[in-house]
Homo-oligomer: A and B are copies of this chain.
Amino acid sequence: MNIVYKTLWIALLTIFPVTAAVGQSTALTGDYRDTAQKIIAKAQNDKEGFERLTEFVDAYPHRLSGSESLEASIDWIIRQMEKDGELNDVRTQKVMVPHWVRGKESATLIAPLNSNLPMLGLGGSVGTPKEGIEAEVLVVDSFDDLNQKSEQAKGKIVLYNIPFTSYGQTVRYRIDGAVEAAKHGAVASLIRSVTPYSMITPHTGTSRYQEGVKKIPHAAITIEHAKMLQRMQDRGEELLINLKMEAETLPDAQSRNIIAEIKGSVKPEEIVVIGGHIDAWDVGQGAMDDAGGCFAAWQALRIIKELGLKPRRTIRLVMWTNEENGLQGATEYKNMVQKNGELENHVLAIESDSGVFDPKGFGFTGSDEAYKMVQAIGKLLNPIKAGTINRGGGGADIGPIMREGVPGMGLNVDSSRYFWYHHSAADTIDKLKESEFNNCAAAMAVMAYVAADMEQALPRN
Protein backbone atom coordinates (compact mmCIF):
# COMPACT_ATOMS: atom_id res chain seq x y z
CA MET A 1 0.00 0.00 0.00
CA ASN A 2 1.66 3.21 -1.09
CA ILE A 3 1.48 6.40 0.87
CA VAL A 4 -1.37 7.78 -1.18
CA TYR A 5 -3.52 4.75 -0.57
CA LYS A 6 -2.62 4.78 3.09
CA THR A 7 -3.85 8.36 3.28
CA LEU A 8 -7.01 7.35 1.54
CA TRP A 9 -7.71 4.48 3.87
CA ILE A 10 -7.15 6.56 6.95
CA ALA A 11 -9.68 9.00 5.61
CA LEU A 12 -12.17 6.31 4.71
CA LEU A 13 -11.78 4.74 8.14
CA THR A 14 -12.87 8.02 9.61
CA ILE A 15 -16.11 7.61 7.73
CA PHE A 16 -16.49 3.83 7.91
CA PRO A 17 -14.50 2.88 10.99
CA VAL A 18 -15.58 -0.72 11.03
CA THR A 19 -17.09 -1.80 7.76
CA ALA A 20 -14.51 -0.26 5.46
CA ALA A 21 -11.68 -1.63 7.58
CA VAL A 22 -12.89 -5.19 7.13
CA GLY A 23 -13.78 -4.55 3.51
CA GLN A 24 -17.45 -5.22 3.93
CA SER A 25 -20.00 -3.54 1.71
CA THR A 26 -22.51 -3.13 4.53
CA ALA A 27 -24.52 -0.06 5.22
CA LEU A 28 -22.84 3.15 6.23
CA THR A 29 -22.02 3.00 9.93
CA GLY A 30 -19.37 5.69 10.28
CA ASP A 31 -18.90 8.55 12.68
CA TYR A 32 -20.64 10.98 10.38
CA ARG A 33 -23.85 9.12 9.83
CA ASP A 34 -25.68 10.65 12.78
CA THR A 35 -24.33 14.09 12.05
CA ALA A 36 -25.36 13.84 8.41
CA GLN A 37 -28.84 12.81 9.46
CA LYS A 38 -29.07 15.78 11.80
CA ILE A 39 -27.96 18.12 9.04
CA ILE A 40 -30.49 16.66 6.61
CA ALA A 41 -33.31 16.86 9.15
CA LYS A 42 -32.52 20.46 10.02
CA ALA A 43 -32.26 21.43 6.34
CA GLN A 44 -35.54 19.74 5.49
CA ASN A 45 -37.45 21.38 8.33
CA ASP A 46 -36.27 24.85 7.44
CA LYS A 47 -38.61 27.58 6.21
CA GLU A 48 -36.37 30.59 6.57
CA GLY A 49 -33.78 29.86 3.87
CA PHE A 50 -36.21 29.60 1.00
CA GLU A 51 -38.23 32.55 2.28
CA ARG A 52 -35.06 34.61 2.44
CA LEU A 53 -34.18 33.59 -1.11
CA THR A 54 -37.67 34.57 -2.26
CA GLU A 55 -37.52 38.00 -0.59
CA PHE A 56 -34.10 38.56 -2.06
CA VAL A 57 -34.98 37.82 -5.69
CA ASP A 58 -38.26 39.73 -5.40
CA ALA A 59 -36.35 42.79 -4.18
CA TYR A 60 -33.27 42.49 -6.45
CA PRO A 61 -34.31 40.56 -9.55
CA HIS A 62 -31.70 42.05 -11.88
CA ARG A 63 -28.12 41.78 -10.76
CA LEU A 64 -25.99 42.41 -13.81
CA SER A 65 -22.37 43.38 -13.23
CA GLY A 66 -21.97 47.11 -12.96
CA SER A 67 -25.58 47.73 -11.94
CA GLU A 68 -26.67 49.54 -8.81
CA SER A 69 -29.10 46.71 -8.24
CA LEU A 70 -26.30 44.14 -7.93
CA GLU A 71 -24.48 46.26 -5.38
CA ALA A 72 -27.67 46.90 -3.42
CA SER A 73 -28.32 43.15 -3.40
CA ILE A 74 -24.82 42.56 -2.02
CA ASP A 75 -25.45 45.17 0.69
CA TRP A 76 -28.68 43.36 1.62
CA ILE A 77 -26.84 40.07 2.10
CA ILE A 78 -24.06 41.64 4.13
CA ARG A 79 -26.61 43.38 6.36
CA GLN A 80 -28.48 40.12 6.82
CA MET A 81 -25.31 38.20 7.68
CA GLU A 82 -24.29 40.85 10.19
CA LYS A 83 -27.75 40.80 11.72
CA ASP A 84 -27.65 37.01 11.97
CA GLY A 85 -24.25 37.18 13.67
CA GLU A 86 -23.71 33.51 12.90
CA LEU A 87 -20.76 33.62 10.53
CA ASN A 88 -17.18 34.80 11.13
CA ASP A 89 -15.35 37.45 9.20
CA VAL A 90 -18.21 38.66 7.03
CA ARG A 91 -16.49 40.80 4.43
CA THR A 92 -16.32 41.71 0.76
CA GLN A 93 -13.52 41.63 -1.77
CA LYS A 94 -13.51 44.50 -4.23
CA VAL A 95 -13.52 43.43 -7.87
CA MET A 96 -13.55 45.55 -11.03
CA VAL A 97 -16.10 44.15 -13.48
CA PRO A 98 -17.24 44.81 -17.06
CA HIS A 99 -20.23 47.12 -17.26
CA TRP A 100 -22.45 46.25 -20.21
CA VAL A 101 -25.88 47.85 -20.46
CA ARG A 102 -28.72 46.66 -22.63
CA GLY A 103 -30.77 49.81 -23.21
CA LYS A 104 -33.87 49.62 -25.36
CA GLU A 105 -33.90 47.03 -28.06
CA SER A 106 -36.21 45.46 -30.63
CA ALA A 107 -36.22 43.26 -33.69
CA THR A 108 -38.97 43.80 -36.24
CA LEU A 109 -39.72 41.60 -39.19
CA ILE A 110 -40.50 43.97 -42.08
CA ALA A 111 -40.99 41.41 -44.87
CA PRO A 112 -42.65 39.15 -45.87
CA LEU A 113 -44.96 40.46 -43.12
CA ASN A 114 -44.71 42.96 -40.32
CA SER A 115 -44.18 41.30 -36.94
CA ASN A 116 -42.45 42.05 -33.68
CA LEU A 117 -39.79 39.44 -32.90
CA PRO A 118 -39.26 39.18 -29.13
CA MET A 119 -35.48 39.27 -28.58
CA LEU A 120 -32.68 39.84 -26.12
CA GLY A 121 -29.37 41.43 -27.00
CA LEU A 122 -26.43 39.25 -26.04
CA GLY A 123 -24.06 40.38 -23.32
CA GLY A 124 -21.17 42.43 -24.61
CA SER A 125 -22.84 43.21 -27.91
CA VAL A 126 -22.41 46.60 -29.51
CA GLY A 127 -25.54 48.57 -30.32
CA THR A 128 -26.96 49.63 -33.64
CA PRO A 129 -27.36 53.13 -35.06
CA LYS A 130 -30.41 54.87 -33.61
CA GLU A 131 -32.56 54.07 -36.67
CA GLY A 132 -31.54 50.43 -36.41
CA ILE A 133 -29.96 48.13 -38.93
CA GLU A 134 -32.37 47.13 -41.64
CA ALA A 135 -31.16 44.29 -43.81
CA GLU A 136 -32.10 41.08 -45.53
CA VAL A 137 -31.71 37.93 -43.51
CA LEU A 138 -29.72 34.81 -44.31
CA VAL A 139 -30.67 31.79 -42.22
CA VAL A 140 -27.92 29.19 -41.75
CA ASP A 141 -27.86 25.96 -39.82
CA SER A 142 -24.16 25.81 -38.85
CA PHE A 143 -20.83 27.63 -39.19
CA ASP A 144 -20.10 25.27 -42.10
CA ASP A 145 -23.33 26.28 -43.78
CA LEU A 146 -22.34 29.93 -43.31
CA ASN A 147 -18.94 29.25 -44.89
CA GLN A 148 -20.63 27.72 -47.88
CA LYS A 149 -23.00 30.66 -48.21
CA SER A 150 -20.28 33.25 -47.61
CA GLU A 151 -21.15 35.24 -50.73
CA GLN A 152 -24.78 35.55 -49.67
CA ALA A 153 -23.91 36.70 -46.14
CA LYS A 154 -22.38 40.02 -47.19
CA GLY A 155 -24.47 42.98 -46.03
CA LYS A 156 -27.04 40.68 -44.43
CA ILE A 157 -28.22 39.83 -40.95
CA VAL A 158 -27.13 36.23 -40.38
CA LEU A 159 -29.51 34.08 -38.31
CA TYR A 160 -28.08 30.90 -36.81
CA ASN A 161 -31.04 28.51 -36.57
CA ILE A 162 -29.33 25.89 -34.43
CA PRO A 163 -31.48 23.31 -32.61
CA PHE A 164 -30.46 22.75 -28.99
CA THR A 165 -28.43 19.58 -28.56
CA SER A 166 -26.30 20.21 -25.48
CA TYR A 167 -25.56 23.58 -23.93
CA GLY A 168 -21.88 23.20 -24.74
CA GLN A 169 -22.52 22.47 -28.41
CA THR A 170 -25.22 25.04 -29.00
CA VAL A 171 -23.77 27.93 -27.00
CA ARG A 172 -20.88 28.26 -29.47
CA TYR A 173 -23.17 30.22 -31.75
CA ARG A 174 -24.02 32.63 -28.94
CA ILE A 175 -20.37 33.06 -27.98
CA ASP A 176 -18.75 33.32 -31.41
CA GLY A 177 -21.67 33.95 -33.75
CA ALA A 178 -20.99 37.66 -34.25
CA VAL A 179 -17.31 37.14 -35.04
CA GLU A 180 -17.98 34.42 -37.59
CA ALA A 181 -20.80 36.36 -39.26
CA ALA A 182 -18.70 39.52 -39.41
CA LYS A 183 -15.90 37.60 -41.13
CA HIS A 184 -18.33 37.00 -44.00
CA GLY A 185 -19.39 40.64 -44.14
CA ALA A 186 -22.67 40.36 -42.21
CA VAL A 187 -23.98 43.57 -40.64
CA ALA A 188 -25.53 41.89 -37.60
CA SER A 189 -26.13 38.39 -36.29
CA LEU A 190 -29.01 36.66 -34.55
CA ILE A 191 -29.15 33.30 -32.84
CA ARG A 192 -31.99 30.95 -32.08
CA SER A 193 -32.08 31.08 -28.28
CA VAL A 194 -29.96 28.42 -26.56
CA THR A 195 -32.74 26.33 -25.05
CA PRO A 196 -34.58 23.10 -25.76
CA TYR A 197 -38.04 24.61 -25.15
CA SER A 198 -39.70 27.93 -25.73
CA MET A 199 -42.93 29.75 -25.17
CA ILE A 200 -41.77 32.78 -27.16
CA THR A 201 -38.87 32.96 -24.73
CA PRO A 202 -35.66 34.73 -25.74
CA HIS A 203 -32.53 33.86 -23.75
CA THR A 204 -29.57 36.16 -23.25
CA GLY A 205 -25.99 35.26 -22.27
CA THR A 206 -22.51 36.44 -22.94
CA SER A 207 -20.76 36.71 -26.30
CA ARG A 208 -17.40 37.92 -27.47
CA TYR A 209 -15.61 39.77 -30.23
CA GLN A 210 -12.21 39.15 -31.75
CA GLU A 211 -9.49 41.67 -32.39
CA GLY A 212 -9.31 42.61 -36.01
CA VAL A 213 -12.86 41.48 -36.76
CA LYS A 214 -15.58 44.10 -37.01
CA LYS A 215 -17.91 44.22 -33.99
CA ILE A 216 -21.48 43.70 -35.19
CA PRO A 217 -24.64 43.64 -33.05
CA HIS A 218 -25.57 40.18 -31.79
CA ALA A 219 -28.93 39.16 -30.32
CA ALA A 220 -31.15 36.16 -29.62
CA ILE A 221 -34.65 35.57 -30.94
CA THR A 222 -37.04 32.78 -29.97
CA ILE A 223 -37.10 29.20 -31.22
CA GLU A 224 -40.54 29.87 -32.70
CA HIS A 225 -39.39 32.79 -34.80
CA ALA A 226 -36.09 31.21 -35.82
CA LYS A 227 -38.03 28.23 -37.16
CA MET A 228 -40.53 30.52 -38.86
CA LEU A 229 -37.81 32.52 -40.60
CA GLN A 230 -36.21 29.24 -41.70
CA ARG A 231 -39.52 28.12 -43.21
CA MET A 232 -39.98 31.42 -44.96
CA GLN A 233 -36.48 31.27 -46.44
CA ASP A 234 -37.10 27.67 -47.52
CA ARG A 235 -40.20 28.88 -49.36
CA GLY A 236 -38.09 31.41 -51.24
CA GLU A 237 -39.48 34.42 -49.43
CA GLU A 238 -37.26 37.44 -48.94
CA LEU A 239 -36.76 38.29 -45.27
CA LEU A 240 -36.17 41.80 -44.05
CA ILE A 241 -35.49 42.68 -40.41
CA ASN A 242 -34.92 45.93 -38.57
CA LEU A 243 -32.73 45.45 -35.50
CA LYS A 244 -32.47 48.24 -32.93
CA MET A 245 -30.17 47.97 -29.91
CA GLU A 246 -28.93 50.70 -27.58
CA ALA A 247 -26.47 48.24 -26.01
CA GLU A 248 -23.09 49.57 -24.98
CA THR A 249 -20.13 48.75 -22.79
CA LEU A 250 -19.33 51.43 -20.19
CA PRO A 251 -16.05 51.72 -18.27
CA ASP A 252 -15.43 48.91 -15.77
CA ALA A 253 -17.31 49.28 -12.49
CA GLN A 254 -16.60 48.16 -8.97
CA SER A 255 -18.37 45.14 -7.57
CA ARG A 256 -17.63 42.76 -4.71
CA ASN A 257 -17.31 39.10 -3.81
CA ILE A 258 -19.02 38.30 -0.52
CA ILE A 259 -17.00 36.16 1.89
CA ALA A 260 -18.01 34.71 5.27
CA GLU A 261 -16.80 31.76 7.27
CA ILE A 262 -17.15 29.19 9.97
CA LYS A 263 -13.65 29.17 11.39
CA GLY A 264 -12.02 25.77 11.72
CA SER A 265 -11.63 24.51 15.28
CA VAL A 266 -8.36 22.63 14.72
CA LYS A 267 -6.91 23.72 11.39
CA PRO A 268 -8.49 27.09 10.71
CA GLU A 269 -5.97 27.78 7.95
CA GLU A 270 -7.29 24.89 5.84
CA ILE A 271 -10.32 25.85 3.82
CA VAL A 272 -13.30 24.19 2.20
CA VAL A 273 -14.81 26.90 -0.01
CA ILE A 274 -18.46 26.67 -1.01
CA GLY A 275 -20.72 29.02 -2.93
CA GLY A 276 -22.26 30.30 -6.11
CA HIS A 277 -22.40 33.57 -8.01
CA ILE A 278 -24.38 36.56 -6.90
CA ASP A 279 -24.56 38.38 -10.22
CA ALA A 280 -27.29 37.51 -12.72
CA TRP A 281 -28.64 38.66 -16.05
CA ASP A 282 -30.91 41.66 -16.26
CA VAL A 283 -34.05 39.63 -17.04
CA GLY A 284 -36.12 37.37 -14.79
CA GLN A 285 -35.00 37.06 -11.19
CA GLY A 286 -31.85 34.97 -11.55
CA ALA A 287 -33.53 32.71 -9.01
CA MET A 288 -31.92 29.50 -10.23
CA ASP A 289 -28.95 31.25 -11.89
CA ASP A 290 -27.69 31.63 -9.32
CA ALA A 291 -29.30 33.19 -6.26
CA GLY A 292 -30.51 29.67 -5.41
CA GLY A 293 -26.96 28.32 -5.41
CA CYS A 294 -25.68 31.19 -3.25
CA PHE A 295 -28.49 30.84 -0.76
CA ALA A 296 -28.26 27.03 -0.59
CA ALA A 297 -24.55 27.39 0.23
CA TRP A 298 -25.29 30.12 2.76
CA GLN A 299 -27.98 27.91 4.25
CA ALA A 300 -25.45 25.05 4.48
CA LEU A 301 -23.21 27.14 6.71
CA ARG A 302 -26.13 28.33 8.83
CA ILE A 303 -27.26 24.75 9.43
CA ILE A 304 -23.78 23.66 10.47
CA LYS A 305 -23.48 26.65 12.79
CA GLU A 306 -26.93 26.30 14.29
CA LEU A 307 -26.36 22.61 15.01
CA GLY A 308 -23.29 23.63 17.03
CA LEU A 309 -20.96 21.65 14.78
CA LYS A 310 -17.34 22.76 14.91
CA PRO A 311 -15.48 21.47 11.83
CA ARG A 312 -11.74 21.09 12.14
CA ARG A 313 -11.15 23.16 9.03
CA THR A 314 -12.63 26.45 7.98
CA ILE A 315 -15.72 26.40 5.77
CA ARG A 316 -15.75 29.53 3.69
CA LEU A 317 -18.81 30.79 1.88
CA VAL A 318 -18.12 32.86 -1.22
CA MET A 319 -20.71 34.53 -3.40
CA TRP A 320 -18.68 35.43 -6.45
CA THR A 321 -19.52 38.43 -8.58
CA ASN A 322 -19.47 38.70 -12.39
CA GLU A 323 -19.73 35.04 -13.31
CA GLU A 324 -22.05 35.80 -16.20
CA ASN A 325 -19.94 38.14 -18.27
CA GLY A 326 -16.33 38.24 -17.25
CA LEU A 327 -15.54 35.87 -14.37
CA GLN A 328 -13.69 38.70 -12.64
CA GLY A 329 -14.98 37.65 -9.22
CA ALA A 330 -13.56 34.16 -9.67
CA THR A 331 -10.30 35.45 -11.11
CA GLU A 332 -9.74 38.01 -8.37
CA TYR A 333 -10.55 35.47 -5.69
CA LYS A 334 -7.90 33.17 -7.14
CA ASN A 335 -5.44 36.07 -7.28
CA MET A 336 -6.15 36.97 -3.68
CA VAL A 337 -5.71 33.47 -2.25
CA GLN A 338 -2.65 32.94 -4.42
CA LYS A 339 -1.15 36.14 -3.04
CA ASN A 340 -2.02 35.61 0.60
CA GLY A 341 -0.88 32.00 0.65
CA GLU A 342 -4.31 30.47 1.19
CA LEU A 343 -4.50 28.75 -2.18
CA GLU A 344 -2.43 25.74 -1.11
CA ASN A 345 -4.69 25.32 1.90
CA HIS A 346 -7.89 25.07 -0.11
CA VAL A 347 -8.75 21.43 0.35
CA LEU A 348 -12.00 21.47 -1.62
CA ALA A 349 -14.16 23.90 -3.60
CA ILE A 350 -17.88 23.25 -4.01
CA GLU A 351 -20.15 25.26 -6.33
CA SER A 352 -23.88 25.18 -6.96
CA ASP A 353 -24.68 26.78 -10.30
CA SER A 354 -27.03 24.37 -12.08
CA GLY A 355 -30.20 25.38 -10.30
CA VAL A 356 -31.49 24.20 -6.94
CA PHE A 357 -33.83 21.51 -8.20
CA ASP A 358 -33.96 17.99 -6.74
CA PRO A 359 -30.28 17.23 -5.96
CA LYS A 360 -28.72 14.06 -7.37
CA GLY A 361 -25.14 14.31 -6.14
CA PHE A 362 -21.96 16.00 -7.25
CA GLY A 363 -19.56 16.00 -10.17
CA PHE A 364 -15.99 15.88 -8.90
CA THR A 365 -12.65 16.83 -10.39
CA GLY A 366 -9.57 15.78 -8.44
CA SER A 367 -7.28 12.87 -7.70
CA ASP A 368 -8.49 9.28 -7.82
CA GLU A 369 -7.90 9.00 -4.12
CA ALA A 370 -9.89 12.10 -3.34
CA TYR A 371 -12.64 10.82 -5.63
CA LYS A 372 -12.97 7.67 -3.57
CA MET A 373 -13.18 9.74 -0.40
CA VAL A 374 -15.91 12.06 -1.70
CA GLN A 375 -17.77 9.00 -2.98
CA ALA A 376 -17.74 7.71 0.58
CA ILE A 377 -19.06 11.05 1.83
CA GLY A 378 -21.70 10.88 -0.88
CA LYS A 379 -23.14 7.75 0.72
CA LEU A 380 -24.22 9.90 3.64
CA LEU A 381 -26.57 11.60 1.18
CA ASN A 382 -28.24 8.41 -0.01
CA PRO A 383 -31.22 9.02 2.32
CA ILE A 384 -32.12 12.01 0.11
CA LYS A 385 -30.90 10.31 -3.08
CA ALA A 386 -28.23 12.94 -3.53
CA GLY A 387 -25.25 10.64 -3.11
CA THR A 388 -24.08 9.97 -6.66
CA ILE A 389 -20.60 11.34 -7.23
CA ASN A 390 -19.60 11.44 -10.88
CA ARG A 391 -16.18 12.02 -12.36
CA GLY A 392 -15.76 15.50 -13.84
CA GLY A 393 -17.49 18.64 -12.72
CA GLY A 394 -16.92 21.86 -10.85
CA GLY A 395 -18.12 25.34 -11.63
CA ALA A 396 -17.16 28.50 -13.46
CA ASP A 397 -16.39 30.40 -10.26
CA ILE A 398 -14.16 27.72 -8.78
CA GLY A 399 -12.53 27.08 -12.17
CA PRO A 400 -9.55 29.40 -11.59
CA ILE A 401 -8.59 27.77 -8.27
CA MET A 402 -9.30 24.28 -9.65
CA ARG A 403 -6.83 24.97 -12.45
CA GLU A 404 -4.30 25.68 -9.69
CA GLY A 405 -4.87 22.21 -8.25
CA VAL A 406 -7.76 22.63 -5.82
CA PRO A 407 -10.15 19.64 -5.95
CA GLY A 408 -13.53 20.93 -7.09
CA MET A 409 -17.09 19.77 -7.32
CA GLY A 410 -20.41 21.00 -8.62
CA LEU A 411 -23.82 20.13 -7.21
CA ASN A 412 -25.76 18.02 -9.70
CA VAL A 413 -29.53 18.39 -9.74
CA ASP A 414 -32.49 17.28 -11.82
CA SER A 415 -31.64 19.29 -14.91
CA SER A 416 -34.70 18.48 -17.00
CA ARG A 417 -35.98 22.06 -17.13
CA TYR A 418 -32.94 24.14 -16.18
CA PHE A 419 -32.28 25.32 -19.72
CA TRP A 420 -35.94 26.15 -20.28
CA TYR A 421 -35.41 29.10 -17.91
CA HIS A 422 -31.67 29.81 -18.04
CA HIS A 423 -30.86 33.47 -18.83
CA SER A 424 -34.49 34.24 -19.60
CA ALA A 425 -37.30 36.25 -18.03
CA ALA A 426 -38.73 32.92 -16.86
CA ASP A 427 -35.92 32.28 -14.36
CA THR A 428 -38.16 33.14 -11.42
CA ILE A 429 -38.58 31.86 -7.89
CA ASP A 430 -41.93 30.17 -8.55
CA LYS A 431 -40.12 27.52 -10.64
CA LEU A 432 -38.25 26.34 -7.53
CA LYS A 433 -39.55 24.30 -4.62
CA GLU A 434 -38.70 24.82 -0.98
CA SER A 435 -38.26 21.07 -0.43
CA GLU A 436 -35.79 20.75 -3.30
CA PHE A 437 -33.89 23.86 -2.25
CA ASN A 438 -33.65 22.45 1.27
CA ASN A 439 -32.27 19.17 -0.03
CA CYS A 440 -29.66 21.08 -2.02
CA ALA A 441 -28.64 22.90 1.16
CA ALA A 442 -28.50 19.54 2.96
CA ALA A 443 -26.29 17.99 0.27
CA MET A 444 -23.88 20.93 0.30
CA ALA A 445 -23.81 21.07 4.09
CA VAL A 446 -23.02 17.38 4.50
CA MET A 447 -20.35 17.43 1.80
CA ALA A 448 -18.72 20.63 3.10
CA TYR A 449 -18.89 19.65 6.74
CA VAL A 450 -17.41 16.16 6.38
CA ALA A 451 -14.71 17.35 3.97
CA ALA A 452 -13.83 20.08 6.47
CA ASP A 453 -13.96 17.89 9.52
CA MET A 454 -12.47 14.52 8.59
CA GLU A 455 -9.02 13.99 9.92
CA GLN A 456 -7.30 13.64 6.57
CA ALA A 457 -7.63 16.38 3.99
CA LEU A 458 -8.59 15.35 0.47
CA PRO A 459 -5.32 14.56 -1.29
CA ARG A 460 -4.46 16.62 -4.38
CA ASN A 461 -2.90 15.02 -7.41
Contact = CB atoms under 8 A, between A and B. Distances in A.
Contacts of A232: 58
Given A200-B201, A201-B200, A228 B58 contact: yes
Interface in A285-313: none
Nearest to A420: B199
Contacts of A421: 199
Contacts of A284: 200
A378 interface: no
Contact of A61 (B115, B201, B227, B424): B115
Nearest to A226: B430
B227 A430 contact: yes
Interface string A152-182: 0000000000000000000000000000000
Interface of A: 54-55, 58-59, 61, 112-113, 115, 118, 198-201, 223-224, 227-228, 231-232, 235, 284, 420-421, 424-426, 428-430
A193 to B, nearest CB: 12
B199 A55 contact: no
Given A113-B59, A224-B428, A54 B199 contact: no
14 contacts: A55-B235, A58-B232, A61-B113, A61-B115, A118-B425, A198-B426, A199-B199, A199-B420, A199-B421, A199-B424, A200-B201, A223-B430, A228-B429, A228-B430
A199 B426 contact: yes
Given A118-B425, A430-B224, A58 B231 contact: yes
Most B-side CB within 10 Å, residue of A199, A284, A421: A199
> What are the nearest 7 A-B pairs in CB distance?
A199-B426, A200-B425, A199-B199, A224-B428, A200-B426, A199-B201, A227-B430
Contacts of A200: 201, 284, 424-426, 428
A143 B428 CA distance: 27
Contacts of A118: 425
Nearest to A112: B59
A223 B428 CA distance: 11
A162 to B, nearest CB: 15
Given A61-B113, A199-B420, 17 more contacts: A58-B231, A59-B113, A61-B115, A118-B425, A199-B424, A199-B425, A199-B426, A200-B284, A200-B424, A200-B426, A200-B428, A224-B426, A224-B428, A227-B430, A228-B428, A228-B429, A228-B430
